Chain A
C-alpha cells in the first residue's frame, strides 16, 4: 500500500515568488491536512480538507491557500514568499470522517522549502 507522497522533496525559491506543493494521500483517505514545521515554532496546523472542502483552518495569513481534488490529492500554495516561510511542509492523510473513531495521521516525508 503506497504511503503519502509529497512532491517535490526540496525547493528553493526567491522572496516574492509563489510556490505550489503537492500531496497524494493514501488510497481511501479522504482527509488531508497540512502542517508547517520549523525549529522555532514546531508543528503548526495550516488547514484540513475533506472531500474537496476546507474543513478546518489554522492561523496563517491568506498567502497560504490550498485545495483538494476529487481524487483526494491536495495542493497548497504560498504566494509572495517571505524568508520566514522557509520550513518543512508536511502533508498528512487520515481515515477520519465527520464522526467516529479518530484514526490519527499518516504523514508524508515533507517538502523542504527554502526561501532566499
Chain B
C-alpha cells in the first residue's frame, strides 16, 4: 500500500523567505502526486499535481514541486512566502491503478511578519 510522509508537522518562515515543505512517498511504480492546501474551516484545494512528463510542476499561488524518482520525493517550494500562505498543506499520492490517494498527515505553514 502507498504511504506518504510529510517531514515536519509545523514549518515556520518569515514573510519573503523561501518555503520548503517536504514529502516522500513509498511506491515501486510511478505514482500520481498531489499537493493540496487547506485554509481554516475550509476544504482542501488542489495546488498542483504530477502525473507524467516534466518533473518540475508549477501550481497556483507561485508554488512548484519537483518529482525526484531516485529520492521518492515531491517537495513543495515557493521562493517568497506571503502572510496569505499560512495554511495546512497536504501531500498525496496514488498508484497501482487506483485513483484513490493516500494523504500525508499535513504540514502547518506559519508565516511571520
Q: Which residues of A contact B (CB under 8 A)?
A: 4, 6, 31, 33, 42-43, 45, 48, 56, 90, 92, 94, 96, 101-102, 104-110, 112
Contact = CB atoms under 8 A, between A and B. Distances in A.
> Size band of the B side of the interface?
20 to 34
A9 to B, nearest CB: 9
Contacts of A101: 51
Contact of A96 (B44, B46, B99): B99
B70 interface: no
B32 A107 contact: no
Interface string B19-52: 0000000000000101010000111111001010
Given A42-B106, A43-B90, A104 B100 contact: no
Interface string B91-106: 0001000111101111
Contacts of B99: 31, 48, 94, 96, 102
A69 B90 CA distance: 30
A93 B106 CA distance: 21
B90 A108 contact: no
Given A42-B106, A43-B103, A45-B100, A102 B94 contact: yes
Interface in B74-95: 90, 94
B43 A56 contact: no
Interface of B: 32, 34, 36, 41-46, 49, 51, 90, 94, 98-101, 103-106
A90 B45 CA distance: 12
Contacts of B106: 42-43
Contacts of A105: 36, 44, 46, 101
A71 B101 CA distance: 24
Contact of B41 (A43, A106, A109): A109
Given A102-B32, A102-B94, A33 B100 contact: yes
B45 A107 contact: yes
